[in-house]
């Protein structure tokens, strides 16, 4: 092994995975991990503030800048923050479980989602099966001296006569190959047509049909497309059979951009570095191509048969995918480049599909309300109901829509990474070993926890945090201000490095052998996160003159939403205290909406109309939002009248029914 004074190039060996990478001496260990494709979850983008890039240095020398994110115990054991460490010699590095992107955890989740989607998770109704991408098999009359019109005129004449199709445009690439394809197919050909919006507004009624492919013979029996939900954390996709309206297969990958920062802002900031936009654009395309390859191999479908790609993503993800600098999204007055991007050739941005494949993106509303929301709102059927509906997509960025078929207001608020386990002392992503549920025995304050996968606990995920804090509050271990009740007689409550903490799992029972705790600082972070979401909802409700009780339906969307315990989310004041039967989970609304838009031009049009219908409210500049936010920094809320059922529970608690000593 080279010493750090010797080599200009150092070899870094990562485990698990047995991956080697060569980097220049002095390079950041995080960059080395990125280069190796290790997939460290760099929540703060390398600023040193999240502690999620922690790795165990087994051998070699690094120069490290130690931050408060590394405890004495971890430091002495050999842990280092990769983003704060420079590679100074050959290294052997171990990435702890839960700090690394692991696709098998995602596979488990999407399996559940698929099952739910296929069992009718989409809530919208009243649409026809009419895919915007269609194939037409044509038998053309051969040219003769008395009928020697051009090849293109012959083709268009047949489309008009046999399928009543007119106002058709043709790609120049199609024209170039048209004569040979017609003759190779002995005047029997399959034409693929894509219906797209002509104007700059997706809701425009002027649609145009474009010939995007022509093949000899009859290939109309096999007709596929791909839909993608491009999330900040994960990318989910489905391969669709457009002849039968079926999901053939689906796949999920972490968005490779996550190694450059976990949230939208750190990604936009990264784009401002020299070459940063290109790096992130290529990172997301790499994940997309991995998915496409897997879907094609698993389903044994020829790549040639994929005819279209439809993408729904938030505004920043959409712009980065298209290679459009998202800089102005985060700068006052927060403007996206466009609400509607034209359909483009998918391979022009590096997506590994054939040349005839176009890519369409779901329309955007504002800087932080994107195509994932327009697609999701339509999948939820919000555009077809008179009932006052709240649509909530909770993640690092909470997106909120209120309205019905006649009007919609929308807003986004930054909740921070707490809901995804980020910046929490023992926070991890929702993978095997993550504590996802917690109850506390009122007689002795002992916890009963449940982990993802039922294995030994390794950390706490977002849904676990909600459950834990609700249980701590209901047992009286913490007060409504989130502070520990130090009079509780239990050795589970103790002073730790970061102040008071509660021991959820003792070292003898955990995977790492160390205690897993929740600290007062963690609780404060979750309170801030839930306050941002609730304040966003309250501010929007105020802006249209409604109260929580007026809401008839609450649609919870997003991967995280799937795992929220509604009762507990109400206990901590994340969700409004209304009858529980008004809550509905839609799962991945974005992917569902994108899929439905591939199956029906009715839905494509509806998504466009919804984008035009939505009025965005900018919360960051709204004083009402700040007031509502301050009021929500309490469990469940400073105005307990907004949470009548929780008020009653707390009264019972005070009367001695909870929190026994």
Among 27, 28, 34, 52, binds ligand FES (CB under 6 A): 52
Q: Which residue has the tokens 């591939």?
A: 598
Among 27, 29, 33, 48, binds ligand FES (CB under 6 A): 48
For helices 371-379 and 601-613, give the axis angle rounded to 10 degrees: 120
**Shorter beta-carbon distance to ligand FES: residue 403 or 421:** 421
C-alpha to C-alpha distance for 629 and 411, rounded to whole angstroms:
14
**Shorter beta-carbon distance to ligand FES: residue 42 or 364:** 42
C-alpha to C-alpha distance for 36 and 10, rounded to whole angstroms:
13
Residue 442 — left, alpha, or beta (φ > 0 → left; ψ -120 to 50 → alpha)? alpha
Rounded to a whole number of angstroms, the minimum distance from the CB of residue 69 to ligand FES is 6
Structure-token pair, residue 145: 């001296």
Q: Which helix (H) or strand (E) holds 389?
A: strand 389-393
Do residues 475 and 438 touch, judged by C-beta distance below 8 A? Answer: no
∠ Cα 213 214 218 (to 5°): 125
**Shorter beta-carbon distance to ligand FES: residue 43 or 203:** 43
**Shorter beta-carbon distance to ligand FES: residue 48 or 132:** 48
Do residues 57 and 274 touch, judged by C-beta distance below 8 A? Answer: no
**Residue 34 in contact with ligand FES, rule: CB under 6 A:** no
**Residue 44 in contact with ligand FES, rule: CB under 6 A:** yes
Do residues 561 and 390 touch, judged by C-beta distance below 8 A? Answer: no
**Shorter beta-carbon distance to ligand FES: residue 52 or 588:** 52
C-alpha to C-alpha distance for 47 and 586, rounded to whole angstroms:
35
**Residue 438 in contact with ligand FES, rule: CB under 6 A:** no
**Residue 46 in contact with ligand FES, rule: CB under 6 A:** yes
Among 23, 36, 83, 603, binds ligand FES (CB under 6 A): 83
C-alpha to C-alpha distance for 359 and 168, rounded to whole angstroms:
19
Residues linked to residue 13 through DSSP beta bridges, in sequence order: 20, 92
For helices 371-379 and 589-599, give the axis angle rounded to 10 degrees: 70
Do residues 56 and 96 touch, judged by C-beta distance below 8 A? Answer: yes
Rounded to a whole number of angstroms, the minimum distance from the CB of residue 70 to ligand FES is 9
- Measured from the Cβ of residue 150, the count of other Cβ atoms closer than 10 Å reads 12
- Site residues for ligand FES, window 255-314 (CB under 6 A)? none
Report helix, strand and coil shares of the chain as percent, to nearest 5: 35, 25, 35
**Residue 87 in contact with ligand FES, rule: CB under 6 A:** no
**Shorter beta-carbon distance to ligand FES: residue 154 or 426:** 426
Among 43, 357, 378, 632, binds ligand FES (CB under 6 A): 43
Among 32, 42, 70, 614, binds ligand FES (CB under 6 A): 42
Rounded to a whole number of angstroms, the minimum distance from the CB of residue 305 to ligand FES is 41
**Residue 381 in contact with ligand FES, rule: CB under 6 A:** no
The alpha-carbon radius of gyration of the chain (Å, integer) is: 27
**Residue 33 in contact with ligand FES, rule: CB under 6 A:** no
**Residue 459 in contact with ligand FES, rule: CB under 6 A:** no
C-alpha to C-alpha distance for 91 and 59, rounded to whole angstroms:
5
Rounded to a whole number of angstroms, the minimum distance from the CB of residue 262 to ligand FES is 8
Rounded to a whole number of angstroms, the minimum distance from the CB of residue 81 to ligand FES is 5
**Residue 53 in contact with ligand FES, rule: CB under 6 A:** yes
Length of the chain: 661
Among 12, 29, 50, 214, binds ligand FES (CB under 6 A): 50
Of the listed pieces 39-47, 100-108, 430-438, 617-625, which binds ligand FES according to CB under 6 A?
Answer: 39-47
Query: What is the spatial order of strands in the sheet that 19-24 belongs to?
Result: 19-24, 9-15, 91-94, 54-59, 79-81
Helix, coil or strand: residue 438? strand
**Residue 650 in contact with ligand FES, rule: CB under 6 A:** no
**Residue 51 in contact with ligand FES, rule: CB under 6 A:** yes
Binding string, 61-80, against ligand FES, x = CB under 6 A?
Answer: --------x-----------
Rounded to a whole number of angstroms, the minimum distance from the CB of residue 75 to ligand FES is 14
Binding string, 124-153, against ligand FES, x = CB under 6 A?
Answer: ------------------------------
**Shorter beta-carbon distance to ligand FES: residue 48 or 131:** 48
User: Going by C-beta distance under 8 Å and a sequence separation of 6 or more, which residues neighbour residue 228?
Assistant: 235, 236, 237, 288, 291, 309, 310, 311, 312, 313, 591, 594
Rounded to a whole number of angstroms, the minimum distance from the CB of residue 67 to ligand FES is 7
Residues linked to residue 251 through DSSP beta bridges, in sequence order: 237
Rounded to a whole number of angstroms, the minimum distance from the CB of residue 424 to ligand FES is 13
By CB under 6 A, name the binding residues for ligand FES.
Answer: 42-44, 46, 48-53, 69, 81, 83
């Amino acid at each position: 092994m080279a010493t750090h004074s010797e080599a200009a190039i150092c070899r870094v060996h990562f485990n698990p995975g047995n991956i080697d990478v060569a980097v220049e001496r002095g390079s950041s260990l995080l960059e080395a991990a990125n280069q190796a494709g290790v997939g460290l979850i760099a929540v703060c983008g390398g600023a040193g503030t999240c502690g999620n890039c922690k790795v165990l240095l087994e051998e070699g020398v690094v120069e490290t800048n130690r931050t408060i994110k590394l405890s004495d115990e971890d430091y002495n054991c050999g842990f280092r923050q990769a983003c704060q460490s420079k590679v100074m010699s050959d290294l052997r590095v171990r990435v702890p479980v839960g700090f690394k992107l692991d696709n098998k955890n995602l596979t488990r989740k999407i399996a559940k989602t698929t099952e739910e989607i296929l069992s009718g998770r989409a809530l919208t109704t009243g649409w026809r099966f009419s895919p915007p991408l269609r194939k037409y098999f044509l038998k053309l009359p051969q040219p003769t001296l008395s009928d020697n019109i051009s090849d293109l005129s012959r083709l268009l004449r047949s489309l008009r006569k046999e399928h009543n199709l007119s106002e058709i445009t043709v790609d120049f690439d199609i024209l170039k190959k048209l004569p040979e394809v017609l003759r190779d197919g002995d005047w029997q050909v399959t034409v693929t047509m894509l219906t797209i919006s002509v104007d700059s507004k997706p809701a425009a009624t002027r649609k145009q049909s474009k010939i995007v492919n022509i093949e000899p013979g009859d290939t109309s029996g096999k007709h596929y497309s791909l839909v993608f939900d491009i999330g900040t954390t994960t990318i989910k996709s489905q391969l669709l059979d457009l002849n039968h309206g079926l999901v053939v297969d689906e796949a999920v990958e972490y968005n490779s951009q996550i190694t450059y920062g976990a949230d939208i802002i750190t990604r936009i900031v990264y784009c401002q570095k020299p070459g940063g936009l290109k790096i992130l654009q290529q990172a997301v395309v790499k994940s997309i191509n991995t998915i496409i390859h897997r879907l094609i191999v698993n389903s044994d479908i020829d790549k040639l048969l994929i005819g279209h790609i439809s993408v729904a993503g938030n505004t920043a993800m959409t712009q980065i995918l298209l290679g459009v600098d998202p800089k102005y999204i985060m700068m006052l007055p927060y403007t996206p480049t466009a609400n509607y991007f034209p359909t483009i050739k998918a391979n022009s941005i590096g997506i590994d599909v054939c040349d005839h494949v176009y890519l369409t993106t779901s329309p955007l509303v504002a800087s932080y309300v994107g195509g994932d929301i327009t697609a999701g709102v339509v999948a939820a059927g919000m555009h077809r109901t008179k009932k006052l509906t709240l649509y909530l997509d909770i993640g690092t960025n909470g997106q909120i829509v209120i309205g019905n078929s006649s009007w919609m207001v929308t807003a986004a608020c930054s909740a921070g990474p707490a809901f995804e386990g980020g910046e929490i002392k023992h926070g991890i992503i929702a993978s095997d070993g993550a504590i996802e549920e917690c109850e506390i025995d009122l007689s002795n304050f002992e916890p009963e926890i449940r982990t993802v996968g039922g294995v030994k606990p390794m950390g706490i995920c977002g849904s676990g945090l909600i459950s834990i804090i609700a249980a701590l509050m209901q047992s009286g271990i913490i007060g409504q201000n989130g502070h520990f009740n130090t009079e509780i007689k239990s050795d589970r409550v103790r002073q730790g490095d970061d102040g008071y903490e509660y021991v959820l799992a003792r070292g003898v029972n955990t995977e790492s052998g160390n205690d897993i705790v929740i600290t007062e600082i963690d609780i404060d972070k979750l309170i801030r996160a839930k306050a941002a979401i609730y304040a966003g909802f309250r501010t929007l409700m105020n802006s249209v003159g409604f109260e929580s009780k007026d809401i008839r339906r609450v649609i919870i969307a997003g991967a995280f939403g799937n795992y929220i315990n509604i009762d507990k989310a109400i206990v901590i004041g994340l969700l409004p205290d209304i009858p529980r039967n008004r809550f509905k989970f839609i799962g991945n609304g974005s992917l569902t909406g994108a899929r439905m838009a591939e199956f029906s031009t009715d839905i494509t049009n509806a998504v466009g109309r919804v984008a035009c219908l939505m009025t965005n409210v900018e919360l960051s500049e709204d004083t009402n939002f700040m007031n509502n936010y301050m009021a929500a920094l309490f469990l469940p809320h400073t105005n307990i009248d907004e949470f009548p059922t929780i008020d009653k529970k707390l009264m019972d608690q005070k009367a001695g029914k909870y929190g026994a000593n």
